A and B are shown apart, each in its own frame.
Chain A
Amino acid sequence: MLGIVRQKVLGQSLQKVRPGVSLLRSYSSAAKQMTVREALNSALDEEMSADPKVFLMGEEVGEYQGAYKISKGLLEKYGPERVLDTPITEAGFTGIGVGAAYYGLKPVVEFMTFNFSMQAIDHIINSAAKSNYMSAGQISVPIVFRGPNGAAAGVGAQHSQCYAAWYASCPGLKVLTPYNSEDARGLLKAAIRDPDPVIFLENELLYGESFPVSDEVLDSSFCLPIGKAKIEREGKDVTISAFSKMVGHALKAAEILEKDGIDAEVINLRSIRPLDRSTINTSVRKTNRLITVEEGFPQHGVGAEICASVVEESFGYLDAPVERVAGADVPMPYAANLERMAVPQVEDIVRAAKRACYRSVPLAAAA
């Protein structure tokens, strides 16, 4: 069973600032720093405070303060009726969460990692996602399924899979992938307020990372639209699309590429379903080259869908084949050196961008 995995994020250039108890201490107009963990915690807190129908359930969310401390302090504040510790029975408690949503409550179901969501996937897909359609709108399911997704560090094959592509292929679901603290706050609030089932894919390695947040982001009414990507970095030579942790990698890759005279545009997808095809295609029509980056398995992945979308809508604008950077097509190995090779690194993105810009020898065939 997964215990708490405290991870120091390697090569992190941002300082980790822990603001302590009050985030509202105003330090003149300097941007405040907030970790993704604090962003999620504050979003949950504010939404639970605003709407009494919102409740949280999952393993260790209450007395343990959350396996990754995302729900810290919530049990004390809202009581055991609204913050529920469940037994280790995903199929059972997920079904109960969906049933509660049928009745009109707004459950937030936490999976300790999304790997465990497979035990409950029938309820997510058949009981939650499809019900609004099958009932011709009579039943709506305002539920959020959230938790860490994708690779952590050294947790092995059964605890490292990325589920973005699987869930995003199913009509009836919305799939969100926050990157920074602003994403985490805005998207989680949007997810909780949304009347449909939302899969909220966090990343364990991002929980401790700190990002600047504006006053607007800190406001309790702050919300981001679902289905809109964000251009994190504007560029004109090549488009790099990424989500979750890979956005950080893509931004670093862009800095390296800049030194080589390649100006990369980085898109933070934020939403895998609905996918912001418009932003992606507009960007590709500007740069004419596309790299898609994801952590998950390459076959039938998010990058495959993005490539198909670009081929359907902007084929004439492409000056090079779409490059797909994804995790290796193997179950995640344990040894650190093998794990590093199984997950995309910054250098992989740089190489792919250079290939797309005809700056290096093309791959003979996909590995």
Chain B
Amino acid sequence: MALSHLATSSSRSAALLRPLSSSIYLRRPISTDTTPITVETSVPFTSHQCEAPSRSVETNPKELLTFFRDMALMRRMEIAADSLYKAKLIRGFCHLYDGQEAVAVGMEAAITKKDCIITAYRDHCTFVGRGGTLLEVFSELMGRQAGCSRGKGGSMHFYKKDSNFYGGHGIVGAQVPLGCGLAFAQKYSKDENVTFALYGDGAANQGQLFEALNISALWDLPAILVCENNHYGMGTAEWRAAKSPAYYKRGDYVPGLKVDGMDALAVKQACKFAKEHALKNGPIILEMDTYRYHGHSMSDPGSTYRTRDEISGVRQRSVIQLKE
């Protein structure tokens, strides 16, 4: 039986050292079936200034199971972080990503580790997607030397340079010009890779975003701006913060695509499309329609500005159940 295999092989902590792809959870028989199958995304893409990609996504059973496993791992990790924070083992800020896992996982499926990713402070799962281990995550959150930033960064400052993950930034919106700078450097070095700069609907109103987008469009940088629209900037709903919450259209002359961020296959398709576009034509915006089950951070109960019905309603569309 697979479980006995578990006990004899390696200790639990060693398992935490291995990146996601070789986790011991998988010793039970898992499909290695790579027969291509085609799945339709839950909803069609909506596009701005470009032709939307097809709803039919190429995948295979192995990839689908990998999605499920990775997202389930991320979900459990964030829930564990919640408990650790309440036990006061994690200090300061802790922004949890549960609900948004499909964005991290779908994106990784479309790109390589030579493409760059940069995000803001809701970075635990993005880091894991880039190959970070659970040990590095929890050690960093608890301020230990084994952490990815050796305990000096904290929740908001995870980095993994060898996988081109550039953080982990605490200042809302700052990561977008930085991401365009990474794209600039990729173009300068003739690398044929792209950068995904992730930001939220709250950050979408930042002026520096438009400054960076203007320069990226002028200089044809391979920058993909990904708005993870979870509909709340901290406690402020998007309709209270943005005159135009159609974030995928905000680029004006820059093309955009609206994607169901709860569907990892749709995210994968969109990122694949965006990478091809960015390498040929310069910047593009992806708006991922997603949701966070926790509040903005652990200090925020997340219930003062939205109803429990809304949260449970979104759980019906749960990203992980979609995969099942």
Contact = CB atoms under 8 A, between A and B. Distances in A.
Contact of B211 (A55, A87, A102): A87
Interface in A101-154: 101-105, 122-123, 126-127, 131, 133-136, 138-139
B184 A99 contact: yes
Main secondary structure of the interface of A (DSSP, over half): helix
Interface string B39-82: 00000000000000000000000000000000000000000000
Counting contact residues on chain A (CB < 8 A from B), the size range is: 20 to 34
B181 A102 contact: yes
B152 A95 contact: no
A94 interface: yes
Contacts of B113: none
A86 B215 contact: yes
Contacts of A135: 149, 153, 157, 159, 161, 167-168
Contact of B177 (A94, A101, A139): A94
A216 interface: no
Contacts, number: 124
A100 B182 contact: yes
Interface string B194-229: 000000000000011011101100110000000000
Interface centre among A95, A96, A102 (most CB of B within 10 A): A96
A103 B116 contact: yes
Contacts of B189: 103-105
Interface residues of B, number: 41
A116 to B, nearest CB: 13
A102 B214 CA distance: 21
Contacts of B118: 99
Interface in A250-264: none
A99 B182 contact: yes
Nearest to B209: A92
28 contacts: A81-B188, A87-B211, A87-B215, A89-B208, A91-B207, A92-B215, A95-B174, A95-B212, A96-B215, A98-B177, A98-B178, A99-B180, A100-B182, A100-B188, A102-B178, A102-B181, A103-B182, A103-B186, A105-B188, A123-B174, A127-B169, A127-B171, A127-B174, A127-B178, A131-B167, A135-B168, A138-B161, A139-B159
Interface of B: 116, 118, 148-153, 157, 159-161, 166-171, 174, 176-186, 188-189, 207-208, 210-212, 214-215, 218-219
Interface of A: 55, 81, 84, 86-87, 89, 91-105, 122-123, 126-127, 131, 133-136, 138-139
Which 6 A-B residue pairs are closest in the complex by CB-CB distance?
A99-B181, A95-B177, A92-B211, A103-B185, A89-B211, A99-B178
Given A93-B211, A95-B178, 5 more contacts: A87-B215, A92-B211, A96-B215, A103-B182, A135-B167
